Chains A and B, each alone.
Chain A
């Protein structure tokens, strides 16, 4: 069937890219093997869909397609969760950056301090205090 040919071609392409990336030193051997297992598994199931019926029977799920759907949902759930966590990490890094930027402005601001204490002194005992100009 056409869909089978397309799927197998897709998996072969993915397999080829995976090993190309390994040779380019982009991914480690373990990662390459992991992806290869997924691609080969996908290819085999595309060619022999009946296989999933046996697997489904082992897991006690009705149909082979159902098993694939359940697995897909579980995997996506896991991936989305990881995405949330890594997003939170990025947010915290961003906060750190923003905080460092804000704290840089914490000069102890001598001129400001002077202005303040000046004000306070003027306010509190303006009658007795002499300003430098006097």
Chain B
């Protein structure tokens, strides 16, 4: 079984090296997608034992994940894992994430911040926005209530599942789009607890305002309905 990690990265030059080194122990190969960063993200990533692809201009996390997933399929992955470049995901969760797939019990495994393992340093406002977002996913998108953390970026899937999950949202709306596809396609999915780490560094990341992100996601999902 060839397990390939897909790591989208946008302006992560200061974080990505340590993150990649920690991931290397868990993956056979890693595909980093530098999302048109203006910093040295691609250059520092190229120093590591990973494939580095580069978007000529910034296209968003969803677009980067799709590029990386296509690349992983081309590289002959059996299992594909989506994982962030900013060190918010705990590498120690990776074996648990991949296990249900290796044991043939699931096609898709999703990480969740709300299954018992407390996130480190999560601001209260973020928690509220995530909870509200979950209800939006349930009511507006018909995502099953069983999914406790629809906005989580940590997921693993079989190559077959990756081929079947057809997602086109370029930004953060990809998470809901993927979930909708997974929960309606007959793929076997399971959620596992994941430890997410919020640091001052991650919260201050340039050009990010997560509360307005929530509205942007809803808007993109709405417009996406009319875009084919």
Write out the residue numbers on chain B whose beta carbons fall within 8 Å of the beta carbon of A91: 170
CB contact list, B46-99 vs A, under 8 A: 49, 51, 53-57, 59-60, 63, 66-67, 70-71, 74-75
Within the complex, the shortest CB–CB distance from A81 to chain B, in Å, comes to 8
Within the complex, the shortest CB–CB distance from A62 to chain B, in Å, comes to 33
B56 in complex: contacting residue of A92, A98, A116, CB < 8 Å = A98
Given A88-B224, A95-B170, A105 and B63 contact (CB-CB distance below 8 Å) = no
A84→B51 CA distance, assembly (Å):
36
Given A95-B59, A98-B56, A99-B66, A106 and B170 contact (CB-CB distance below 8 Å) = no
Q: Is the CB of A103 within 8 A of B59?
A: no
A103→B55 CA distance, assembly (Å):
9
Q: Is B223 part of the contact surface with A, judged by Cβ < 8 Å?
A: yes
Who on chain A is nearest to B223 by CB? A88
Write out the residue numbers on chain A whose beta carbons fall within 8 Å of the beta carbon of B67: 99, 102-103
CB contact list, A49-108 vs B, under 8 A: 84-85, 88-89, 91-92, 94-95, 98-99, 101-103, 105-106, 108
Q: Is B227 part of the contact surface with A, judged by Cβ < 8 Å?
A: yes
Given A99-B70, A103-B67, A119-B49, A94 and B54 contact (CB-CB distance below 8 Å) = no
Q: Is B108 part of the contact surface with A, judged by Cβ < 8 Å?
A: no
A48→B209 CA distance, assembly (Å):
53
A116 in complex: contacting residue of B49, B57, B70, B74, CB < 8 Å = B49
Q: Is the CB of B226 within 8 A of A85?
A: yes
Write out the residue numbers on chain A whose beta carbons fall within 8 Å of the beta carbon of B170: 91-92, 95
Q: Is the CB of B227 within 8 A of A106?
A: no
Write out the residue numbers on chain A whose beta carbons fall within 8 Å of the beta carbon of B156: none
Q: Is A129 part of the contact surface with B, judged by Cβ < 8 Å?
A: no
Q: Is A109 part of the contact surface with B, judged by Cβ < 8 Å?
A: yes
Within the complex, the shortest CB–CB distance from B170 to chain A, in Å, comes to 5
Write out the residue numbers on chain A whose beta carbons fall within 8 Å of the beta carbon of B9: none
Q: Is the CB of B56 within 8 A of A102?
A: yes
Q: Is the CB of B53 within 8 A of A106?
A: yes
Cβ contacts A to B, 30 pairs, < 8 Å: A84-B223, A85-B223, A85-B226, A88-B220, A88-B223, A88-B226, A89-B227, A92-B168, A92-B227, A94-B59, A95-B59, A95-B60, A95-B170, A98-B55, A98-B56, A98-B59, A98-B63, A102-B33, A102-B53, A102-B54, A103-B53, A103-B70, A106-B31, A106-B51, A106-B53, A106-B71, A106-B74, A109-B51, A116-B49, A119-B49
Q: Taking beta carbons and an 8 Å cutoff, which residues of A are in contact with B?
A: 84-85, 88-89, 91-92, 94-95, 98-99, 101-103, 105-106, 108-109, 116, 119
